[in-house]
Amino acid sequence: MVNAPRKKLVIGLVVFIAAMAAVFALYPIRDAICLPFLSPAEKRVVGKWHAQMIGGINVTTIHADHTWASVGGSCLGDDFVPVTGRWRLDGSEIVFSFDPHQFGDLPTPHSHRYAIQQLIDADRRTRVWEENFKR
């Protein structure tokens, strides 16, 4: 009889943790929670960034929880698996590192650095090109 309230507490706690995990799995909610804790420079890079690549338009989504995902722009087609990783700022540059598990037996590529202004300029040019291409 003494264990019944404890069992309900444990079940309730497990349900609560599962619900919170589901909520944090949704990027819009997770971004909204993490965004106030970012510096002004970090807030500036959060969002979707378009860039022209050999295989088409690449869209990189930079999340407030310091993760990113990039899709498209591949010669392998749109069904290609997105590339993911973590990001950080180093002065006026954004540094993208890759999640190692997505490359299987291949070595993980080194981190890539881009000037934040380069990211902004490429996005602006690509969006103008996309708008003109739709006409």
Measure the CA–CA gap between 115 and 7, rounded to whole angstroms: 54
Q: What is the pLDDT of residue 19?
A: 57
- Weakest mean pLDDT among 30-39, 72-81, 118-127: 72-81
The residues, any chain, with a CB within 8 Å of residue 125's CB and separated by 6 or more, are 52
Q: What is the pLDDT of residue 25?
A: 54
User: Is the pLDDT at 129 greater than 70, yes or no?
Assistant: yes
pLDDT in tens, 96-114: 999 988 888 888 889 999 9
pLDDT in tens, 11-53: 766 665 655 555 455 566 777 777 788 889 999 999 999 998 8
